[in-house]
Amino acid sequence: ITYWFANNFGSAKVIYSIVYLSAAYSYFAIPEKIHIFISLITYWICLTFFDAVGILMKKFEKLSLLLKETNFEELGQAIGCENPLLYKVEIDYLKHKAQEVKEGDVVAVEMSNNVGTLGMVIGQKHLLNKRWLSIYLLKDTHSEYLKMDLRTKKFIEDEKSIFKETYLVYLLDVKQLGQSVKSEIENNVLYKNRENFVGYVTRDSNINTINFTILINKDSVDKQISEGMILKTSIYGQDTLYQVINGNTKEERLENFDSYGYTIGVARKLGKYDDAEKELNVSKWLPDIYSPLFFAFSRMISQERIEDIAKNSIGRLPETDLEIPIKDMNAIVTHNTAILGILGIGKSCLAFELIKKISDSNIKVVCIDITNQYYSENGLLSYLGKEELEFDLPETLRASLKSGKESKNKAIEGNPQASGNAADYISVLDQDLKQFLESNKKIKIYNPDLHPVSKGVAFKNTSLEDLTIAEKTRLICERLFVYAMKQGASDVAKYLLVFEEAHSLVPEWNSVANEGDKNATNGTAKVILQGRKYGLGNIVITQRTANVSKSILNQCNTIFALRVFDDTGKGFLENYIGEDYANTLPTLEERHAIAIGKGLKLKQPVIIQLNDKKYFLINNSSKDSIEKVDSMLSEK
């Protein structure tokens, strides 16, 4: 009761009324001054119950606003502040229906009388007869708000708080502003990059990933965000790149039961791109909350520039001309490389491009291909000159191997080692590899499925069995390793083994058909483990990660992961690229890959846009090359 009494009877109006009425009664409540007393009482009623003075002041203020020379068109009034930089402005759609406001327009939010803080329109929302604008305030290089006197059209440079009273919003025409003001606005980072503006960094961001509110118009085709897209923001004044890896939908309440949906994106930090060295360097912190975020892509990339990137690099950051070159060709070979992905996603095209670039570095390449794709019109023949390739064993060696198998078609009881023609096969491989490695040819392609080789097997009796593909692969690898050892240790890459369909050539222990394949895979793995010191390495290409020997896959320091669906493949790659990027594997676009490793000098995984194969094709395939493969297949 006491509080109610003090609150109501202690108000300014009540105290003023008591003093005013008492004075009026004391001095004028007499018959000869009754007309003055009535006038005073009338004035008290108008002042107390109708706020006549307040209304008069407001009318006067409106009159003064009409008289001041702003030349700016009033849009509406700021009704909310989502963060210190982002204001929400309400516009009466019926009143301003014909007024054209678009993203990128500059406005002034009148924080105090005639003092406007400059901002830029970054988004619009429409519901019923209401329209809301999102205004992002502009800051100078010292992180101070840009404030302007709305009458003189000049900047105000003081330290007073801008958060005052009126919050009226005016649309500005930058062209009509003074030269200094115009120059300051046009050089502002946000205004200068307004066409590439995406949104701002929001809460729960960390050193590795940021969350960002998307404020762009998603109906615009050239402003659609997608997985793998490159964004940039500032960390300590330096542009830092981020890659979009995820997104989440959110909802906000606007008014009454009105709600509006929006998206929170998730992006992984890539670092600072060094244009001179063409590599990503580490950024050791995170951007400030509410920092603006921009697209990093180049809208128009010339055909010549794309061709130049294809010539010098393995790919580029998606939708940009920021190339990702092979920084260490030796590491690609000696520290081993893996190309993983489902069927028909572009693994072989990437492999052909890598093989071409490696062979151009005077590194001898031995491909083990059971698909016969490499020596075909759609294979390496279309990437390299026919004179640079050599397919399988020469006819003379192949004939001697075949006749040797036929002459030794019977097992020698009690002596399985001498049974079969495996020893002849080793001799043939030694001759053929030596001839190739000492010739001008760059690439040798073997299909072990075409090689007639048998071995003796001792169980109760000695019998003959054909060598499996995995066993022949082991022998090819071991003979190349023996040759490399004879040449001596080397820090420079000299020889490359390529395993196409590696799940068949070096199967995992639980995927083998017999014990011989398990021993064969172990033998091949031993070559890979020891080959580095002699300049020998390998590229593993497979669509079934689960079925490839992990002893070999785990030695691959450079990884190209294309689209993958199986959980085993995702689980294996997660150890290299992390859970965030592993979750993007099933939705990767064609000709896109997640890359990481020593050969590219990438310290963190990156989704890259691979080169188009059309920049490498030389239309070199010939009928006699195809007929040679067909002849050998029919011979088999």
Q: With cut-offs at 50, 70 and 90, classify the pLDDT of residue 406.
A: low
**Residue 630 is encoded by which pair of tokens?**
């067909």
pLDDT at 339 over 90: yes
* Range with top average pLDDT, 265-269, 544-548, 621-625: 265-269
The C-alpha atoms of residue 110 and residue 494 are separated, in whole angstroms, by 71
Q: With cut-offs at 50, 70 and 90, classify the pLDDT of residue 500.
A: very high
The C-alpha atoms of residue 248 and residue 264 are separated, in whole angstroms, by 5
* Strand order across the 592-597 sheet: 323-324, 315-316, 602-610, 592-597, 558-561, 337-340, 534-542, 490-500, 364-368, 443-446, 389-391
The C-alpha atoms of residue 321 and residue 300 are separated, in whole angstroms, by 9
The C-alpha atoms of residue 610 and residue 126 are separated, in whole angstroms, by 41
Scanning the structure block, which residue is given the tokens 């009664």? 25
Question: Residue 408's closest CA among 452, 458, 451?
Answer: 452
The C-alpha atoms of residue 255 and residue 443 are separated, in whole angstroms, by 70
CA distances from 356 to 254, 314, 338, 432, 443 (A): 59, 11, 16, 22, 9
> Which of 249-258, 261-270, 311-320, 387-396 comes out lowest in average pLDDT?
249-258
Q: With cut-offs at 50, 70 and 90, classify the pLDDT of residue 163.
A: very low
Phi first, then psi: give them for residue 516, nearest 5 degrees: -60, -35
Asked if 384 and 618 count as a contact pair (C-beta separation under 8 A), the reply is yes
Phi first, then psi: give them for residue 440, nearest 5 degrees: -90, -5
pLDDT computed for residue 412 by the predictor: 57
Q: With cut-offs at 50, 70 and 90, classify the pLDDT of residue 201.
A: very high
> Which of 207-211, 538-542, 547-551, 607-611 comes out lowest in average pLDDT?
547-551
The C-alpha atoms of residue 426 and residue 76 are separated, in whole angstroms, by 87
pLDDT computed for residue 160 by the predictor: 45
Q: Is 603 helix (H, G, I), strand (E, B) or coil?
A: strand
Rounded to an integer, the average pLDDT of 15-27 is: 90
Q: How far apart, in Å, do the first and last CA atoms of the chain sit?
A: 108
Between 575 and 414, the more confident residue is: 575
389: DSSP letter: E
pLDDT at 436 over 60: yes
pLDDT computed for residue 443 by the predictor: 94
Asked if 271 and 282 count as a contact pair (C-beta separation under 8 A), the reply is yes
pLDDT at 342 over 80: yes
Rounded to an integer, the average pLDDT of 240-264 is: 76
The C-alpha atoms of residue 620 and residue 616 are separated, in whole angstroms, by 11
> Which of 182-191, 415-424, 437-446, 457-466 comes out lowest in average pLDDT?
457-466
Q: Is 127 helix (H, G, I), strand (E, B) or coil?
A: strand
pLDDT at 80 over 80: no
Report the Cα 214 to chain-centroid distance in Å.
16
Asked if 105 and 72 count as a contact pair (C-beta separation under 8 A), the reply is no
The C-alpha atoms of residue 126 and residue 133 are separated, in whole angstroms, by 9
Question: Residue 446's closest CA among 383, 380, 493?
Answer: 380
Residue 21 makes CB contacts below 8 A (sequence gap 6+) with: 41, 44
pLDDT computed for residue 608 by the predictor: 94
Q: Is the dihedral of CA 474, 475, 481, 484 positive or negative?
A: negative
354: DSSP letter: H
287: DSSP letter: P
**Residue 221 is encoded by which pair of tokens?**
């085709």
Q: With cut-offs at 50, 70 and 90, classify the pLDDT of residue 540.
A: very high
- Considering the entire predicted model, what is its pTM? 0.76
Q: With cut-offs at 50, 70 and 90, classify the pLDDT of residue 161.
A: very low
Residue 295 makes CB contacts below 8 A (sequence gap 6+) with: 196, 198, 223, 229, 230, 231, 232
Residue 36 makes CB contacts below 8 A (sequence gap 6+) with: 28
Three-state secondary structure along 184-236? HHHCCHHHHCHHHEEEEECCCCCCCEEEEEECCCCCCHHHCCCCCCEEEEEEC
Give bridge partners of residue 127 from the DSSP assignment: 130
**Residue 567 is encoded by which pair of tokens?**
């959980």
pLDDT computed for residue 470 by the predictor: 92
Concatenating the DSSP letter of every residue in 611-632 gives PPGGGT------HHHHHHHHHH
Asked if 132 and 140 count as a contact pair (C-beta separation under 8 A), the reply is no
Q: Count Cβ atoms within 10 A of the Cβ of residue 165 and give its class: 0-12 exposed, 13-18 middle, 19 or more buried.
A: exposed
pLDDT at 164 over 50: no
* Cβ atoms < 10 Å from Cβ of 224: 11
Asked if 54 and 13 count as a contact pair (C-beta separation under 8 A), the reply is no
Q: Which residues of 283-302 are buried (b: 16+ CB within 10 A; e: fewer)?
A: beebbebbbbbbbbbeeeee
Rounded to an integer, the average pLDDT of 585-599 is: 90
> Which of 140-154, 263-277, 328-342 comes out lowest in average pLDDT?
140-154
pLDDT computed for residue 493 by the predictor: 94
pLDDT at 258 over 60: no
User: Rounded mean pLDDT of the chain?
Assistant: 83
Helix (H) or strand (E) holding 584: none
Rounded to an integer, the average pLDDT of 146-159 is: 68
Between 160 and 531, the more confident residue is: 531
The C-alpha atoms of residue 516 and residue 524 are separated, in whole angstroms, by 12
Scanning the structure block, which residue is given the tokens 């890359």? 595
Q: Crossing angle for the helix pair 469-487 and 515-531, nearest 10 degrees?
A: 20
Q: Count Cβ atoms within 10 A of the Cβ of residue 102 and give its class: 0-12 exposed, 13-18 middle, 19 or more buried.
A: exposed
| Alpha-helix runs per DSSP H in 488-622 | 502-505, 515-531, 550-553, 567-582
pLDDT at 520 over 60: yes
| Alpha-helix runs per DSSP H in 50-170 | 52-67
Question: Residue 358's closest CA among 370, 347, 350?
Answer: 350
The C-alpha atoms of residue 515 and residue 522 are separated, in whole angstroms, by 11
pLDDT at 377 over 60: yes
pLDDT computed for residue 335 by the predictor: 93
Q: Please compute Rg for the chain using Cα positions.
A: 38
Rounded to an integer, the average pLDDT of 296-314 is: 85
**Residue 85 is encoded by which pair of tokens?**
């930089």
